[in-house]
Structure 1
Amino acid sequence: MKVSSKTTRLGRTLLALGVICAAAVAAIGTGGAEAKPVANPYHLNKEGTLTVGMTLQFKPQMYLNAKGQPAGYDVVLVRALAKRMGVKLDIKNLDFNGLIPGLVSKKFDMVSVGLSNTPERRKAVSFSRPYVPYAQILAAKRSDSTAATTAAWNTSDKSITSLQGSTAEQLVKRTFPNAESKSFPDQNAAFLEVATGRADGIVVENYLLAQFNKSNGNSLKQVAFKKPLHVEYGSYAVQKGNTALANYLSKFICSQQTSGQLAKTYKATIGAPLPPMPACR
């Protein structure tokens, strides 16, 4: 049967309309377009920039090098973190005591200073999984002859220093309640108080003692208790309730840990093998 050109044109028009309608239905079903990436998914204070609060006086974990640039274990990690996130990195150097208040007031997005995840701190901030291990020890002058027992140091004639606002400060008060607790906002000042004889001992991380001795004539010794006063882990802190960033940080740490990169970074910066870390699940 012969088909007229008019009928053919009508069929083509109906076919075109059908294609347009089908496309419209498909667009409605998928929201009209592909979903765009969520802007600022980790709720950074400044989109495109990760602002990190640190105390750059804990060599080799975090410090200012000879050129005045941030360096150390934490610095290497946050640089890798910012690169993975695809954002710029802005490090803010504050006294230790100002870090949590600064985080709460949104001066930065996270704190990288090896904070212990304590119930008291969790009232103000949220934490990632641990990224750095610590062994807290007691150190004294090499000439000190006090017995290496808690009882010998837990007396009213002893004074023990620590970093103000740190878990070491709480450890002094808890372990040596009868001794005088002297806390300082600067870690080096706490060391020097002992080195110059104005205090008897200091509670501090073992690697910080080693670093202090390198620059100060090996003047202090670790008191030879049978085991460290306390072993703990440091975590990243973020603004309270920012689970998106906290979860991302935890995944980043696990990726570094399981790939072996965390151990390599620790060895290269701290100068010792990475102690056992909590397993990633």
Structure 2
Amino acid sequence: MKRVLLIVMVAMVLAFATAAQADDGSWNRVKEAGQLVIGLDDAFPPMGFRQDDGKLVGFDVDAAEELGKRLGIKIVWQPTAWSGVVHSLNAKKFDCIWNGMTITPERQKAVLFTKPYIRDGQIAVVVMGNDKITSTKQVGGKIVGVQKGSPALEAAKSLKPAAKEIREYDTNPKAFLDLEAARLDVVVIDNIAGRYFMSTRPGKYIALPGYITTEAFGIAFRKADKSLEAKIQMTIDAMVADGTMGKISRKWFGEDITNPAKW
């Protein structure tokens, strides 16, 4: 009898805990406001960046706008410095970070991530015609540029042999300008962002073979906002299942890199 009572009590505690998590108010807050405010670096092509006319475009922009339509809410974009983006999220300057954000153990201590929606990695890029650096093993002793606060910094630090110097930039385009001007030998960058930027200046750069590190992108929320994360995740799952995410992916990358079944 005592054993049965104990089981019933445990089940009740779990039920209450689940109900409390589902009713944390975060999704209702967004729904009642009628908008989801998203933090991003708006100079991160092709995930989110400005066209010449100032319009914000990109893979994450298209995906989030589609999600907003399905949930009946407006998407509001809040550009922010990437180096402080997690702090800004937890300071409640926006509801989530949706901007090709790499899921790392360190970040998982500070934020709540969705499941990965893209699998990617870090690569090394040099100017076209550079016959002195043809593999990552030859980056040792060279000057390397990375975006400040990005996983590229850790990837650059992991290079063996070590780089001579690692220079940090506010944006990737600034690093590429220094690469083209021979103030850098190599830029370490996310594969997606790097290849997109290279495509805008054909014949200027070339990626060294292979990945330095591999990674996955997720959408980040405050730890307490479990019901909001669950609602967004459910909607993204539906977008993957009906082929919408794949369609958006092919628009920006030429192939579907959003389906976990293909990773």
Whether the TM-score (by the shorter chain) exceeds 0.5 is yes
Decide which of 242, 246, 251 is 1:259's aligned counterpart.
242
Aligned residue in 2 for 1:26: none
Q: For CA contacts below 8 A with separation 6 or more, give which structure has more relative contact order.
A: 2
Higher mean C-alpha deviation, range 195-204 or range 169-178: 169-178
Aligned residue in 2 for 1:204: 189
Aligned residue in 2 for 1:86: 72
Q: How many residues align?
A: 238
Distance in structure 2 (CA, Å) of the matches to 1:135 and 1:39: 34
Aligned residue in 1 for 2:223: 240
> Mapping of 1:112-261 within 5 angstroms?
112-155=98-141, 158-176=142-160, 178-179=162-163, 180-224=165-209, 227-261=210-244
Distance in structure 2 (CA, Å) of the matches to 1:53 and 1:232: 20
Residue 134 of structure 1 contacts residue 232 of structure 1 at CA under 8 Å; is this kept in 2? yes
Unaligned runs of 5+ in 1: 1-37
Residue 135 of structure 1 contacts residue 230 of structure 1 at CA under 8 Å; is this kept in 2? yes
Give the CA deviation at 1:41: 5.0
Residue 42 of structure 2 contacts residue 49 of structure 2 at CA under 8 Å; is this kept in 1? yes
Distance in structure 2 (CA, Å) of the matches to 1:40 and 1:276: 29
Distance in structure 2 (CA, Å) of the matches to 1:39 and 1:141: 51
User: SS in structure 2 opposite 1:130?
Assistant: coil
Query: Does the C-alpha gap of structure 1 residues 101 and 41 become closer, same or farther in structure 2, counting only changes over 3 Å?
Result: closer
Q: Deviations over 1:219-249 (max 9, x none)?
A: 111113xx22223221000112211112222
Give the CA deviation at 1:143: 2.8
Distance in structure 2 (CA, Å) of the matches to 1:267 and 1:217: 20
Distance in structure 1 (CA, Å) of the matches to 2:49 and 2:140: 33
Give the CA deviation at 1:132: 2.3
Distance in structure 2 (CA, Å) of the matches to 1:276 and 1:59: 17
Distance in structure 2 (CA, Å) of the matches to 1:236 and 1:210: 22
Give the CA deviation at 1:177: 6.1
Distance in structure 1 (CA, Å) of the matches to 2:100 and 2:228: 17
Give the CA deviation at 1:61: 2.0
TM-score, length-scaled by structure 1: 0.77
Query: Does the C-alpha gap of structure 1 residues 49 and 147 become closer, same or farther in structure 2, counting only changes over 3 Å?
Result: closer
The AA in structure 2 aligned to 1:160 is V
Give the CA deviation at 1:147: 4.5
Distance in structure 1 (CA, Å) of the matches to 2:234 and 2:60: 16
Aligned residue in 2 for 1:27: none
Give the CA deviation at 1:217: 4.8
Residue 44 of structure 1 contacts residue 50 of structure 1 at CA under 8 Å; is this kept in 2? no
